[in-house]
Structure 1
Amino acid sequence: MKLEGAVALVTGGARRLGRALSLGLAEAGCDIFIHYRSSAGAAGRTASDVRALGRHAATAAADLSHPEQVDDLFEVFDTAFGRLDILVNSAASFERTPFGEATVAEWDAALALNLRAPFLMTQRAAVRMRTATERRGTQGEHRAPGVIINMSDMSALAAWEGFAPHGVSKAGLLHLTALTARELGPEVRANAIVPGPILPPPGETAEDPAWREKGRRIPLGRTGDPRYVAHAARFLAENDYVTGATIHVDGGEHLLTGGAR
């Protein structure tokens, strides 16, 4: 897909990794619709930074764990842009939940946001992507398909103790990616990214000894940076012959036995 002038919707696109994805796609020429749940100030700052890059930007709030708010979000999106080329499902929760203490409510909350919401977003995005196919033009003899990019994490690959609902939801997201690629092709492509040690946890910095030690334990011997994930997202958006793939942007962390945290 030619990214200059394409429209991308990034869920959780205001802060941290979502912000990097929003700005990375804007730098590549995309106009950006930034979803957020409660970070209105951060969304406004990210939108301003997108506009400073010469691209259009709009923002909207929604709790994607509520299906009706997914529909409301697309109503705002349709008014703002009217076409959709790229959907990045980045919004997620990350809650520690000891296996023996996990409640039904905690299980449902993790799957509602981390798995059901990307499914509903993809359903609704696909309808819009199919109608935009003609306007996207051709790559050789083929129309450029729409693009879904799902953000998973290492808990999808390894059995992290204390994160059962979260890990199951992220593993399910990888399978959803494969199903989406098979069922929605050729009009829509779907791929996933699994970041590794890209951002230190909230409240920590890249200089904290524990974070630096985490980097030393992985094959590349260092932690990463959000720009590496943004580069992967740009590749997946541009390359029209990649679908159903999972890209690890983790310095080789997935190669470690058990993917230990």
Structure 2
Amino acid sequence: MCYPSSSVLLPNKTALVTGGAHRVGKAIALELAQAGANLCIHYNASEKAAQETAAEIETLGVRAWALKADLSQPTEIEALFAGVSAACGSLDVLVNSASIMETGDARTLPLEAWNRSLAINLTAPFLCAQHAARLMGNGGVIINITDGSALRPWANYPAHSVSKAGLAQLTQVLAKALAPNIRVNAVSPGPVMKPPHWEESRWERVAQGTLLKRAGSGYDVARAVRFLIENDFITGETLVVDGGERWR
């Protein structure tokens, strides 16, 4: 039996990856570029890394632009998408990868830290989705990057956990609101990249806490993002890429 093709081909498409200058965001941007997409790389403070990532992407035979914006400021988000429109004309894929992790006890966490987490991790993806939808014309894909704190709150990360839980719910809300032309999904990574301030021994303990007894990589997340972009019969879902960490 022959089955009809059900995929989105990325060559000549345009994707915007927020936080795309380094770490998981960079891995996602490179994966989409290798699939043939042109890339808009968003950054805030990491201009040098963003320019280097854009240059690396262009060696793959596609185009890339590095665009700056402070995602805690709605006016800068608006300017970011004006830049995307000016550079590319339209947009096919948005990956909301930019994120911050404010730490602190829920009993004493400053309101400023709470507001900053919600602004960048939840409000910004919402506003980015609104702007992206206007540039997507007849169709597109939005991917949100959440994490395990959306289901099981992390100790000493109250604002982060709430923001990621909200982002997981926002994924479903947007999937309903933007259907049928725009699909919205999420990827929830587990231990894929060691936080810069962690010691190796702490990272190894976390990796051993997965069913697979090892850490993943940014590439694992990037492949999951590409899968959700290319399969056009999936929307409103969260794909967990954590080596079985949540089942321990």
**Letter aligned with residue 175 of structure 2:** A
Q: Give 3-state SS (helix, strand or coil) of 2:239's partner.
A: strand
Query: Is the 8 Å Cα contact of residues 194 and 203 (structure 2) preserved in structure 1?
Result: yes
**Letter aligned with residue 66 of structure 2:** T
TM-superposed CA distance for 1:103, in Å, is: 2.0
Counterpart in the other structure of 2:34: 27
Match of 1:100 among 107, 111, 120: 107
Q: Deviations over 1:127-150 (max 9, x none)?
A: 111x2x2xxxxxxxxxxx310000
Counterpart in the other structure of 1:78: 85
Separation of aligned partners in 1, 2:55 and 2:144:
25
Give RMSD over aligned pairs.
1.0
Q: Deviations over 1:138-166 (max 9, x none)?
A: xxxxxxx3100000111111121111111
> Are residue 244 (structure 1) and residue 236 (structure 2) matched?
yes
Match of 2:183 among 186, 189, 194: 189
Query: Is the 8 Å Cα contact of residues 105 and 158 (structure 2) preserved in structure 1?
Result: yes
Write out aligned runs for 1:228-239 (5 A).
228-239=220-231
> Are residue 178 (structure 1) and residue 172 (structure 2) matched?
yes
Query: Is the 8 Å Cα contact of residues 150 and 192 (structure 1) preserved in structure 2?
Result: yes
Q: Give 3-state SS (helix, strand or coil) of 1:100's partner.
A: coil
Separation of aligned partners in 2, 1:230 and 1:83:
22
> Are residue 65 (structure 1) and residue 60 (structure 2) matched?
no
Counterpart in the other structure of 1:138: none
Write out aligned runs for 1:1-261 (5 A).
1-129=8-136, 131=137, 133=138, 145-204=139-198, 208-256=200-248
**Letter aligned with residue 171 of structure 1:** A
TM-superposed CA distance for 1:203, in Å, is: 4.1
Separation of aligned partners in 1, 2:208 and 2:71:
36
Quote the sequence identity (%): 45
Separation of aligned partners in 1, 2:88 and 2:198:
37
In structure 2, list runs of 5 or more residues that go unmatched. 1-7
**Letter aligned with residue 99 of structure 1:** A
TM-superposed CA distance for 1:234, in Å, is: 0.5
Separation of aligned partners in 2, 1:91 and 1:201:
15
- TM-score, length-normalised on structure 1? 0.90
Q: Deviations over 1:141-195 (max 9, x none)?
A: xxxx310000011111112111111100000000000000011000100000100
Separation of aligned partners in 1, 2:214 and 2:173:
34
- TM-score, length-normalised on structure 2? 0.95
TM-superposed CA distance for 1:97, in Å, is: 1.9
Separation of aligned partners in 1, 2:124 and 2:63:
25
Separation of aligned partners in 2, 1:157 and 1:223:
20
Separation of aligned partners in 1, 2:15 and 2:29:
8
Query: Is the 8 Å Cα contact of residues 85 and 135 (structure 2) preserved in structure 1?
Result: no
TM-superposed CA distance for 1:204, in Å, is: 4.7
In structure 1, list runs of 5 or more residues that go unmatched. 134-144, 257-261
TM-superposed CA distance for 1:210, in Å, is: 2.4
Query: Is the 8 Å Cα contact of residues 248 and 254 (structure 1) preserved in structure 2?
Result: no
